[in-house]
């Protein structure tokens, strides 16, 4: 029972990350066992209204029924500290194909060697819809290994190149 509980705790911890709230430049591939291969990337946007860091995260499902996901984010509170760990809180606008749109907070907690992140959004996708995402990113400069879960897939493992 203890091993099962430890495994569930580890799995839940790994599933608590999505792309961090702060913008990064990254490109990589991810695999979701029930969905297939995703091409994904993120980009620091060149404009920053009012001095706020902005970025774009995108994923494309490479299958016969493609899906596209884009998250425009603004890092509103980049310098928060929680228990001596840097925390970022932002706002994200999630756009999807097939059509969906959500707006909500994006939060990241930097841990030694990685980041735990989460996103929540309320919007429309075939009716009123609650979007969520969570995960863990392990930084192996210049690479990153990311495990995540969201309302779009139950588990995604990704390898990213950061610059």
pLDDT digits (tens, 9 = 90+) for 25-43: 999 999 999 999 999 999 9
Taking the C-alpha atoms of residue 156 and residue 115, their distance in angstroms, rounded to an integer, is: 16
pLDDT tens for each residue of 114-160: 999 999 999 999 999 999 999 999 999 999 999 999 999 999 999 99
Structure-model confidence comparison of residues 73 and 1, the more confident one: 73
Share of the chain above pLDDT 90, in %: 76
Question: What confidence tier does 4 reach under pLDDT thresholds 50, 70, 90?
Answer: low
The answer to whether 121 and 94 have CB atoms below 8 angstroms apart is: yes
The residue to which tokens 């606008």 are assigned: 93
Q: How confident is the model at residue 19 (pLDDT cuts 50, 70, 90)?
A: low
Check pLDDT > 50 for residue 15. Answer: no
DSSP 8-state assignment for residue 6 = H
Indicate the pTM of the whole model.
0.83
- Asked if residue 152 lies in contact with residue 135, where contact means CB atoms within 8 angstroms, the answer is no
């Amino acid at each position: 029972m203890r091993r099962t509980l430890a495994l569930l705790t580890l799995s839940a911890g790994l599933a608590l990350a999505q792309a961090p709230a702060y913008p990064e430049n990254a490109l990589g591939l991810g695999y979701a066992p029930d969905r297939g291969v995703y091409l994904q990337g993120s980009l620091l946007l060149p404009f920053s209204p009012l001095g706020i860091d902005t970025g774009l995260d995108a994923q494309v499902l490479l299958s016969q029924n493609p899906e596209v996901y884009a998250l425009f984010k603004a890092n509103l509170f980049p310098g928060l500290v929680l228990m001596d760990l840097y925390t970022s809180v932002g706002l994200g606008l999630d756009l999807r194909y097939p059509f969906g749109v959500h707006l909500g907070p994006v939060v990241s907690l930097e841990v030694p060697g990685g980041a735990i992140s989460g996103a929540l959004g309320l919007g429309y996708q075939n009716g009123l819809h609650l979007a969520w995402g969570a995960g863990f990113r392990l930084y192996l400069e210049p690479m990153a290994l990311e495990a995540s879960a969201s309302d779009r897939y139950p588990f995604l493992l990704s390898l990213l190149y950061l610059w």
